[in-house]
Amino acid sequence: MGYELKSARYLARDVLRQALPAGGIAVDATMGNGHDTLFLAEQVGETGHVYAFDIQADALVSTRALLEANGVADRVTLLHRSHADLAEAVPQKADAVVFNLGWLPGGDHRITTLCASTEKAVLSALELLRPCGVVTICAYPGHEEGTRELDMLVRLVSALSNRQYNALRQSFLNAGEGAPECFVIQKLNSK
């Protein structure tokens, strides 16, 4: 079987596989149940490190269990705080920052990422990036706050200097209204 376009999350992971080196530093700005955190921990290998954020205690519990079951918990710092605190909480430059917006899968759908904190976190992530580092953002406009986040992201990403960043927006045109979209931002190598 050949390559299959599956979803915004799969597209983000394809980028991360190419951009995140072994020994690298990654940030999961929205850990959820830990699947992206685990993916990042496997990508950075034994000499890299991942910082993962979530405001919900249940997310930390499920993520810790997943990381321990896969033998990679020692390379991840779990942070029970908002991704808006990213600039203060991550002590080093990063090769990749991942956002998977919305709500905790299987959790309370009334608790979602919020436009204001997401904007602050994305701006902090861009500052945190090393040259050639990437930010991937999967946005879910299928709910009211998700639509606000998508609108904010389009404005923010469109306004980035093309001398400092490459910016891409990917959407599945035939997926219907509210389908997830993927943004990829790469910090250009300063010369």
**Domain boundaries defined on the chain:** 8-74+97-187
Q: How confident is the model at residue 140 (pLDDT cuts 50, 70, 90)?
A: very high
| 176 neighbors 142 (Cβ within 8 angstroms) | no
**pLDDT averaged over every residue in the chain:** 94
Look at residue 160 and tell me whether its pLDDT is greater than 70.
yes
Q: How confident is the model at residue 5 (pLDDT cuts 50, 70, 90)?
A: confident
Three-state SS string across 64-125, please? HHHHHHCCCHHHEEEEEECHHHHHHHCCCCEEEEEEECCECCCCCCCCECCHHHHHHHHHHH
Q: How confident is the model at residue 176 (pLDDT cuts 50, 70, 90)?
A: confident
pTM for the whole thing?
Answer: 0.95
Residue listed under structure tokens 């034994």: 46
For the CA atoms of the chain, what is the radius of gyration? 16
Pick the CATH number of 8-74+97-187 from 3.40.190.10, 3.30.590.10, 3.40.50.150, 2.40.50.140: 3.40.50.150
Q: How confident is the model at residue 69 (pLDDT cuts 50, 70, 90)?
A: very high
